[in-house]
Amino acid sequence: MSSLSTEILFEKFQIIEVLKKDDHAAVFLANHIYLNKKIILKVLNTVKIHDSSMIERFKREGKILAKLDHSNIIKVLDFGMSKEFFYISFEYIEGESLRNIFKTKSLTPEQKEHVMIQLLQGLDYAHSNQIIHRDIKPENIFIDKNLNVKLGDFGLALSAEDNYVTNPYSIVGTPSYMSPEQVRGSKLTAQSDLFSLGVVLCELFTGKNPFLKENVSLTLNELNSFDEAALENNIVDVPQNIKDVLIKLLKKNLNQRYETAAEVLEDLEVEVDQPNIIVNRVDGEARKTKLAWAFIIAVTVIVVGIIALPKVFEPGQNQFGADSNAVQKNEELNNKNNTSPFNSNQTKDPVEINNFQKPLIDSPKQKENVIQQNENPVTPIGNGGLFVECNPWADVYVGGEKYGTTPLDSAISLPAGSYSLRLSNPAYPSIPPQMINIKANQVNRLKINLNNLIGSIKCFINPWGDVYINNEFKKQVTTSELFRVLPGRIRLVIKNPNFQDIDTLVTIKEGDTLLIKRNFTKK
Question: Given pLDDT bands bounded at 50, 70 and 90, which one contains residue 480?
Answer: confident
State the architecture of 8-91 in CATH terms. Answer: 2-Layer Sandwich (3.30)
Helix segments in 293-390, DSSP class H = 293-300, 324-337, 364-373
pLDDT at 132: 92
Q: Which of 55, 57, 89 is nearest to 75 (CA)?
A: 89
Question: Given pLDDT bands bounded at 50, 70 and 90, which one contains residue 307?
Answer: very low
Q: Which of 237, 231, 264 is nearest to 249 (CA)?
A: 264
**Where are the chain's structural domains?**
8-91, 95-267, 277-284+454-518, 301-452
| Kind and range of the H or E run holding 18 | strand 13-21
d(CA 475, CA 86): 41
pLDDT at 479: 78
d(CA 319, CA 200): 65
d(CA 56, CA 47): 13
Fold (topology level) of 95-267:
Transferase(Phosphotransferase); domain 1 (1.10.510)
State yes or no: pLDDT of 110 exceeds 70: yes
d(CA 58, CA 153): 10
Q: What is the mean pLDDT of residues 246-275?
A: 85
Fold (topology level) of 277-284+454-518:
Immunoglobulin-like (2.60.40)
Strand 480-485 to 455-460 pairing: antiparallel
Q: What is the mean pLDDT of residues 268-289?
A: 51
d(CA 425, CA 41): 49
d(CA 194, CA 231): 17
Q: Is the pTM of this model over 0.85?
A: no
38 or 326, greater pLDDT: 38
Inter-helix orientation angle 109-128/190-206, to 10°: 170
Q: How far is CA 129 from CA 65, 68, 478, 490, in A?
A: 11, 8, 31, 11
Q: Are 7 and 33 in contact (CB under 8 A)?
A: no
23 or 91, greater pLDDT: 91
> Among 37-46, 71-80, 82-91, 333-342, where is mean pLDDT lowest?
333-342
Residue-wise pLDDT tens digits, 355-370? 222 222 333 333 333 3
Residue-wise pLDDT tens digits, 135-187? 999 999 999 988 999 998 887 877 755 534 444 444 456 889 999 998 888 88
DSSP single-letter state for residue 216: H
> Among 258-267, 289-298, 493-502, where is mean pLDDT lowest?
289-298
Q: Which of 9, 31, 32 is nearest to 21 (CA)?
A: 9
Residue-wise pLDDT tens digits, 178-222? 999 988 888 889 999 999 999 999 999 999 999 999 888 899 999
List the catalytic residue out of 23, 69, 135, 409.
135
Q: Mean of the per-residue pLDDT values for the chain?
A: 75
153 tagged catalytic: no
84 or 373, greater pLDDT: 84
